[in-house]
């Protein structure tokens, strides 16, 4: 009897293909997922193969499936990911998979919401809350007592010290760092390589070392 769960990855781009590789790595440790393919709004790639997995259609394809399926969204843009998930939430047959690479080091005192993705090489220590539909990319460190709200995107090699709050839909650029006890406002974008040494307000782009807002939206 096949006990594998049917899984689709939303987003057939580079990160989506990395998530497909993660699924393969998870299945090597414990067979869990039957990866059916990718979902993507780009109709020009429908019917093609991406790393041997088919691009089967757009989100409407999932909405029309008559049986229960599992989905994870591998779209890096936090706001776009939120819109996709809110649409899929209207279908009771769609469930959201939480994927944690076998290489991730994390304690039992970490909570992770549904639909989140944590990539290889990442260390998540103790007493940490990670929301739903969060992406934590390769080689990140998440320190004690951090709160990462829903739909946050953390790009590769980000270092977050302890007691940090990251608001919903924030995006933390590759290689940036946050010192202990700081807050990142919701929907803010922190540039690659930035160093956050003071709180960052909501809905801005901040860059530099030390990081300073350069644009509000």
Q: What is the mean pLDDT of each run of 10 residues along the chain (217 residues)?
A: 89 98 98 98 95 95 92 98 96 96 98 98 98 98 98 98 98 98 98 98 98 96
Predicted pLDDT at 1? 53
In a domain, 24, yes or no: yes
In a domain, 161, yes or no: yes
**Structural domain that includes position 59:** 5-97
Rounded Cα distance, 152 and 114, in Å: 13
Count of domains for the chain: 2
Looking at 81, 97, 113, which one is the last position of a domain?
97
Predicted pLDDT at 140? 98
Handedness of CA 18, 23, 27, 30 (dihedral sign): positive
Task: With beta carbons less than 8 A apart as the criterion, state whether 196 and 210 touch.
Answer: yes
Predicted pLDDT at 87? 95
Whether 46 is a known active-site residue: answer no
Chain centroid offset of residue 51 CA: 20
State the pTM of this model: 0.96
CATH number for 47: 3.40.50.20
Model confidence over 159-209: pLDDT tens digits?
999 999 999 999 999 999 999 999 999 999 999 999 999 999 999 999 999
State whether 73 and 152 are in the same domain. no
SS3 31: coil
| Radius of gyration of the CA atoms of the chain, in A | 17
In a domain, 93, yes or no: yes
Rounded Cα distance, 154 and 130, in Å: 11
Which tokens go with 55?
């691009």
From 46, 67, 133, 144, active-site residue: 144
Predicted pLDDT at 194? 98
SS3 content of the chain, % helix, strand, coil (to 5): 15, 35, 50
State whether 146 and 127 are in the same domain. yes
Rounded Cα distance, 11 and 29, in Å: 25
Of the candidates 51, 45, 56, which has an alpha carbon nearest to the alpha carbon of residue 6?
56
In a domain, 79, yes or no: yes
């Amino acid at each position: 009897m096949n006990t594998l769960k049917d899984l689709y990855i939303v987003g057939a781009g580079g990160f989506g293909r990395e998530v497909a590789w993660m699924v393969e790595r998870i299945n090597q440790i414990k067979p869990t997922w039957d990866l059916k393919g990718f979902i993507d709004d780009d109709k020009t790639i429908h019917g093609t193969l991406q790393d041997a997995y088919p691009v089967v259609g757009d989100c409407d394809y999932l909405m029309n499936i008559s049986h229960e399926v599992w989905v994870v969204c591998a779209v890096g843009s936090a706001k776009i990911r939120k819109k996709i998930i809110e649409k899929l939430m209207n279908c009771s047959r769609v469930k959201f998979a939480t994927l944690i690479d076998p290489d991730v080091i994390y304690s039992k005192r970490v909570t992770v919401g549904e639909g989140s993705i944590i990539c290889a090489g990442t260390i998540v220590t103790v007493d940490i809350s990670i929301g739903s539909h969060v992406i934590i990319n390769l080689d990140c460190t998440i320190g004690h007592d951090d709160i990462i709200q829903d739909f946050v995107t953390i790009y590769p090699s980000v270092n977050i010290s302890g007691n940090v709050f990251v608001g919903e839909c924030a995006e933390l650029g590759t290689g940036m760092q946050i010192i202990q006890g700081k807050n990142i406002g919701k929907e803010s974008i922190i540039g690659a390589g930035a160093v956050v040494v003071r709180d960052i307000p909501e809905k801005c782009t901040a860059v530099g070392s030390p990081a300073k807002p350069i644009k509000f939206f």
